Structure 1
Amino acid sequence: MDLLLVLTVLTVIIVLLFDYTNGFHDAANIVATVIASRAMSPAQAVAVVGIFEFLGPLLGGTAVANTIGKFVSLGDLTGQVALTTLLAGLLGAIVWNFVTWWKGIPSSSSHALVGGLVGAVWVSAGSDHVVWGLSELFQHGHFTGVTKVLLALVLSPVAGFGVGFIMHRIVLGCLRAAKPSANARLRRSQFITSAGLAFSHGANDAQKSMGILTLALMLGGFIHSFEVPFWVMLACSTALTAGILSGGWRIVRTLGFAIYRVRPIHALDSQLTSAAVIFAASMAGAPVSTTHVVATSIMGIGASEHPRAVRWDKAKEIATTWIITIPSAALMGASFFALQRALLGLG
């Protein structure tokens, strides 16, 4: 069988595996506050989230896929080297996802994907094959490539914290005279807000895999332009949803209990904040980390109510993981490419 065909099929499989681990890793981000506030049982949360996670990639457009699929330039490489590079970057991201899941640390799958691909591309073809986007930014004020990706990943936690802070103040003001029975309505409302968060997560995160899978098909010669086929949308939606249904429950404890004591009002505000920030980013074609947004929204909500009750030490631990994710995944991606090059005898 032709090696290029084998590599293309293998890359498609690995992309879908990454998409699965992304859902597996991010399941806790979506359901943590729902479960912590006792608005739903784990089974109910997974059922609601699973449905809307599946719909998000199918109805959320392809703006993020276009951004992710174009921040590395591999068109001038041979198909075998280009696909081997993609494979190495994906494997680096997958390994990092499993490491952080095992440790119960809510790191970013988006950061892992960016790091893994940059590391693999740098070793295989050189730094000039990474679309950094700096010249476009300084000369034309246009955000593209890695600059756009990193800007979105950096600004989204800030937005999560700020919007969460303001959102909680507004909701507290509206419910100042409310009776304790209002908690029951707040819990019921989370069926809607958690569905919105799941939809926005699916619309953003599955598109990252859609972009890489479409790039792989183009490098393998199976499509001639960067247009996401419907079957790619469906496959990535299915893989992400399967990962969500499997659930990375180790991280629920961190997000739901280890940052701030989450009650129904906090859970509702966090879900509203996260859904709004992530969906706005999806419409702008900006890939963001659900982990970052959910975690910082909880911090912002806690800071607006009782700053001393926020467990900032846990926040520092999470932030440290965010900082080391890109270089760690890049090192893994580079290592996987070197190993594959030795096994396949690539020049």
Structure 2
Amino acid sequence: MLLDAFVLIVVAGLFAVVAGVNDGGALLATGLKLPTVRPVTGIVLLAALVAAVPLLTHQVALTFVTRLGSFQDPGGRLAMVIAVVSALTVVGLLSARGRPTSLTLAVVGGLTGAGLGWGLQVSPEWVALVLAFGLAAPFAGGLLAWVLIRVLAARTTARGLWRWHWVGFLLQTLAYAANDAQKMLAVFMIAMGFTGAPVEYTVLVAVLFAIGTLYGLPKAGRTLSREIIASRPPHGVAAELAAGAAVIGCAAVGMPVSMTQAIAGGLIGAGVAQGGGRVRWYAAGRIAAAWLLTLPAGGLLAWGLALLVKGFASVRVS
């Protein structure tokens, strides 16, 4: 096996674990105040869908691999390594400063910067489209949750809310597997040179993701379910339903978006519907600022690293 492929496989495995830490806990966080879906049950269902859904559709993974840029061309593996390392660095630094952010945004920025720095073909049209959908997703989640929380409050009993929580959890988990989760599969696609979704790789991604989720659940749960709003069970259920619908809509057209952003938007929308005082605007503003910083920071770091590595490699060859 070539050295660049081996390095990318190792990076892909680490990336899947970090995605579990960053994303998996957030997916379970909104329902922590309801006894309907236990954390262990949720992690098992989440891992099962992350493994199974790409076997049916992996259009979002193809967007990362072939539509944003030509990462299957010579040098694409090293560029992907640089993109992922840059994304993990940016997310790690922001998280260490108490500003959790979107790993998907960081990856899009990293891929754009690494592709440009390495001299690969990068599609400005697709980058602009992905960015536009990424910005729209939390607003769509917020608007849908604003409507749903009113319906739930008016028409649903406590027992009915438990049933809706199951529906919402399954919907957002399906949406994540069809969209956000496929960034992990995309890294393995580049590393191994395939364009489909072999079951052994989707299962590997799911297992590594589940390990990360188990580790990251407590911190992510505190961030989303406590810091953004003074959350009650109906807020979480409305956010799940809204985020799931918004992200599935984006997946249908192959657009990668952040589930954590959509959930956060849903929580804010649900909070605003019952009085803006429930929303902790300072915390929400800090998270939004981190989102705005993530993509350009990931892109600039990856661009600089790509130029540095490519220049070093050229000097050694000469």
Shared fold, TM over 0.5: yes
> Is 1:45–2:39 an aligned residue pair?
yes
Equivalence for 1:174: 155
Structure-2 change in CA distance of 1:314 and 1:346 (3 Å): farther
Corresponding residue SS for 1:297: helix
Equivalence for 1:190: 165
Task: State how far apart, in whole Å, the 2-side matches of 1:47 and 1:281 are.
Answer: 27
Corresponding residue SS for 2:181: helix
Corresponding residue SS for 2:25: helix
Equivalence for 2:213: 244
> Is 1:228–2:220 an aligned residue pair?
no
* TM-score, scaled to structure 1: 0.82
C-alpha RMSD of the superposition:
2.4
**Which of these residues, 264, 274, 291, is aligned with residue 233 of structure 2?**
264
Equivalence for 2:141: 160
Q: CA deviation at 1:46?
A: 3.8
Unaligned runs of 5+ in 1: 134-144, 176-181
Task: State how far apart, in whole Å, the 2-side matches of 1:346 and 1:287 are.
Answer: 37
Equivalence for 1:137: none
- The count of aligned residue pairs is 313
Task: State how far apart, in whole Å, the 2-side matches of 1:269 and 1:49 are.
Answer: 20
Q: CA deviation at 1:74?
A: 4.1
Per mean C-alpha deviation after superposition, the further-off stretch among 150-159 and 47-56 is 47-56
Task: State how far apart, in whole Å, the 1-side matches of 2:12 and 2:105 are.
Answer: 15
Structure-2 change in CA distance of 1:200 and 1:186 (3 Å): same
Corresponding residue SS for 1:34: coil
- Among all aligned residue pairs of Structure 1 and Structure 2, give the percentage whose two residues are the same amino acid: 24
Paired AA for residue 68 in structure 1? F
Structure-2 change in CA distance of 1:282 and 1:242 (3 Å): farther
> Is 1:209–2:178 an aligned residue pair?
no
Task: State how far apart, in whole Å, the 2-side matches of 1:346 and 1:275 are.
Answer: 50
- Contact 1:54/1:240 (<8 A) preserved: no
Q: CA deviation at 1:93?
A: 0.9
CA deviation map 1:176-224 (0-9, x unaligned) = xxxxxx4355246534432332232223222122223213333xxxx5x
* TM-score, scaled to structure 2: 0.89
CA deviation map 1:234-288 (0-9, x unaligned) = 2222222222222253232221112211112111111111222222322322211
> Is 1:331–2:306 an aligned residue pair?
no
- Aligned pairs (5 A) from 1:16-165: 16-35=13-32, 37-39=33-35, 44-60=38-54, 61-70=57-66, 71-74=68-71, 79=74, 81-125=75-119, 129-133=121-125, 145-165=126-146
Equivalence for 1:286: 255
List structure 1 segments (4+ residues) > 4 angstroms apart after TM superposition.
none
Task: State how far apart, in whole Å, the 2-side matches of 1:230 and 1:193 are.
Answer: 26
